[in-house]
Homo-oligomer: A and B are copies of this chain.
Amino acid sequence: MNLEISIERLDAFFNPSSVAVVGATKRVNKAGHVIFKNFVENKRRGVFRGELYPVNPHEDYILGFQCYPKLTKVPDEIELVVIVVPAEIVPEIMEDAVAKKVKATVIVSSGFGEVGNHELERKVAEIAKNAGIRILGPNCLGVYDSNTGVDMLFLPETKVLMTGEEVVATPRPMKGNMAIVTQSGAFGVATLDYMAGRQMGVSKFVSFGNKCDVNEAEMLHYLLHDDETKVIMLYVEDIKNGRDFIEKASQVTKKKPIIAIKAGRTEAGARAAASHTGAIAGSDRIYNAAFEQTGILRARDMEEFFDAAKALAMQPPAAGRNVAIITDAGGPGIMAADECELRGLVVKRFSEKTLQKFEKLKKDGKLPKFATNLNPVDVTGSATSEMFEYAAEIVFQDSEIHGVLILGLHHTPALQEDYIDRVVRVAEKYDKPVVACDIGETEMALHTRYRFDKLGVPAYSSPEDAARAMSILAKYGLYLQKKGCFKDYIDAFLKEKRR
């Protein structure tokens, strides 16, 4: 199948002109109800613009929509079918889909390969393949698209606590430029919950489940051409068609960063993965090598996964490993320096020229006499907002410094909120990445991190998290340089940012 056709076919998953939900029902706790209701609500809000058809032989109307007993009884064309019926009747539904000439199907139903019913899964896949119908799933959560209103998440949006209070349980994050591509539905939903709470914006969410047809390689390639997506967050347990994956991923990472969690690294993890999705995990070293080769950035754990995605979405990659740290807090400065070096960054001694600039500031009384102009720069507990601004200007000017960490702990008496804006204004004059950290979990700390984030500087709650985020920006920058596409990436990034 050639490329454009492939992309067009996958488009049906995210932006279908018409959708049928087979297994839609009035029974409120059923997946078939929740999915259909999501579409109905998004249509009423004007977000989902396609046509909508419930299919269920036992209902006349659902939520005001006329219900059809069979797919083939729907009078109009159907582009996408969401299937939420027991596994054993899915082949029959797929035959109907063939008859209706649909483009794509999402099989939400479970009961296939993941419980040993490989034959059933093969049968369904074959029917679809012969007719050129694409399948997402089976045993998946399907698609959530923040722009088109396609939303197949059937998990309860709210739950009721023992007190009777109703609370948000499965939120949708705000619109944004990060796409989530996940083999684990549970981890995918958890990702949405995390990103909603942390105000990280999502473009598209795809859950693969057993991936009997559409897989990671193809989806990554699709997202390469998706204007809404700038960063791809990938969770995998196994990759089946390695060569294809490596080829596609290599194309993608030249233009868009992919940050990945590969679960099943250890023997116990691999055993669990095998029983979870039937994945034969293969040696972790092989995956590491494949990720290195293709420029996929591997997150060590969940927190790094989110932290890195945020950094990559907000900041350009670094042109090298040399970083400067500016802090008003000696201890946390050391912690950041430690983590930078452990991650392969270089907390470089500054050039003579830079040191002279610092000395001049001290002589002029613009920095405390006992400020340290080694790296980390410690503007001390007497730090003012201006001091952070002056120090930032000097280290950004230094051509040997490729990235800057700002550790402005808000507790020091003289530091005021405006230091954030001052530092950001300095950073915006340069193409170098900057990340921030403030420690604390009460009002001023939360506000400081929020304000940095809002101004496009990713802020973290520990020195080490900030250092790790910077190390990912450097790793990606070095990869892009190796591939000769660093400059193009930076240009595109800055153009987009200044738009």
Smallest beta-carbon distance A269→chain B, Å: 4
Is A273 in contact with B334, judged by CB distance below 8 angstroms? yes
A301 interfacial by beta-carbon distance below 8 Å: yes
A190 interfacial by beta-carbon distance below 8 Å: yes
State which of B193, B376, B416, B443 has its C-beta within 8 Å of the C-beta of A441.
B193
A272 interfacial by beta-carbon distance below 8 Å: yes
Give the docked Cα–Cα distance between A417 and B413 (Å): 43
Among A268, A276, A330: residue with most chain B CB under 10 A: A268
Give the docked Cα–Cα distance between A182 and B332 (Å): 12
Convert A344-366 into 0s and 1s, putting 1 for each residue whose CB lies closer than 8 angstroms to a CB of B: 00110000000000000000000
State which of B29, B198, B269, B439 has its C-beta within 8 Å of the C-beta of A190.
B439
Give the docked Cα–Cα distance between A416 and B341 (Å): 45
A410 interfacial by beta-carbon distance below 8 Å: yes
Q: From A49-57, A96-104, A457-465, give the one contacting chain B.
A: A457-465
User: Which B residues are CB-close (under 8 A) to A347?
Assistant: 268-269, 272
Name the CB-closest residue of B to A416: B159
State which of B333, B416, B417 has its C-beta within 8 Å of the C-beta of A276.
B333
User: Which B residues are CB-close (under 8 A) to A276?
Assistant: 330-331, 333-334, 372, 378
Give the docked Cα–Cα distance between A187 and B439 (Å): 8
CB-contacts of A149-191 with B (<8 A): 154-156, 159, 161-162, 167-171, 182-187, 189-191
A424 interfacial by beta-carbon distance below 8 Å: no
Is B184 in contact with A331, judged by CB distance below 8 angstroms? yes
User: Which B residues are CB-close (under 8 A) to A303?
Assistant: 303, 462, 464-465
Give the docked Cα–Cα distance between A443 and B275 (Å): 31
Assembly stoichiometry (copies): 2
State which of B266, B268, B375, B442 has its C-beta within 8 Å of the C-beta of A268.
B375
Q: From A257-265, A386-394, A482-490, give the one contacting chain B.
A: A257-265
Name the CB-closest residue of B to A29: B413
Is A440 in contact with B277, judged by CB distance below 8 angstroms? no
State which of B31, B186, B372, B375 has its C-beta within 8 Å of the C-beta of A332.
B186
- Which size bracket describes the interface of A in this complex? 35 or more
Give the docked Cα–Cα distance between A12 and B301 (Å): 45
Smallest beta-carbon distance A146→chain B, Å: 16
Smallest beta-carbon distance A327→chain B, Å: 8
Is B302 in contact with A169, judged by CB distance below 8 angstroms? no
User: Which B residues are CB-close (under 8 A) to A271?
Assistant: 337, 374
Among A154, A263, A378: residue with most chain B CB under 10 A: A263
A189-B411, A341-B269 are known contacts. Are A447 and B161 too (CB-CB below 8 A)? yes
A339 interfacial by beta-carbon distance below 8 Å: yes
User: Which B residues are CB-close (under 8 A) to A339?
Assistant: 301
User: Which B residues are CB-close (under 8 A) to A443?
Assistant: 167-169
State which of B169, B369, B447 has its C-beta within 8 Å of the C-beta of A167.
B447
- Given A169-B410, A186-B328, A190-B332, 13 additional A-B pairs, CB 8 A: A31-B413, A184-B332, A184-B334, A187-B332, A187-B439, A190-B409, A193-B411, A198-B441, A261-B335, A272-B330, A272-B347, A275-B378, A276-B372
Interchain residue pairs A-B with the least CB separation, the first 4 = A197-B441, A184-B331, A193-B440, A186-B329
